[in-house]
Amino acid sequence: MQYLYKQFQAKKKEVIEVEMDRPTKVRFMTATEFKRYKNCRTFTFYGGTFDSTPVRFVVPHDAVWYVVVEKGLRAEAIPVKAQCRVLPPDRQIRSSVALDAPAHVRAADALMEAGVPGADSTSE
């Protein structure tokens, strides 16, 4: 697997924004999970497949966070260019929801978009 990555020391509620030049998988993970990812072990992450930019991730807790932008398989790598940055907390920015996010995450996001009170969105 080929990928681009960037490390950030981020605090809770800060926003990590990723811009890429083509649709691809974007994963957000802690340093421990990134180590597992690099070693081809089972890992957990936030994110998924995104077809538009920018992708925004609201940091759930203080930690060292890695942004991984996948370039496809080793034999079938695609050329991807990406830029990442950390933005200060902003109540108006919500996490982007991946195309392949679980149904309950997409449903919660749809409720948030509709302005249903008490709806809470989480992207994973």
DSSP 40-76: T-----EEEEESSS-EEEE--SSEEEEEEEE---STT
The token pair at 43 is 């890992």
Q: 64: which 2 tokens?
A: 């060292």
The per-residue pLDDT for 100 is 86
Give the residue from 48, 52, 53 showing the smallest Cα distance to 102.
48
C-beta of residue 57 within 8 angstroms of C-beta of residue 98 = no
Residue whose pair of structure tokens reads 């070693």 in the numeric block: 39
Tens digit of each residue's pLDDT (9 = 90 or more) over 8-67: 999 999 999 999 999 999 999 999 999 999 999 999 999 999 998 999 999 999 999 999
* pTM of the entire predicted model: 0.82
Neighbouring C-beta atoms of residue 41, cutoff 10 Å: 9
Q: Domain locations in the chain?
A: 3-114
- Bridge partners (DSSP) of residue 85 are 17
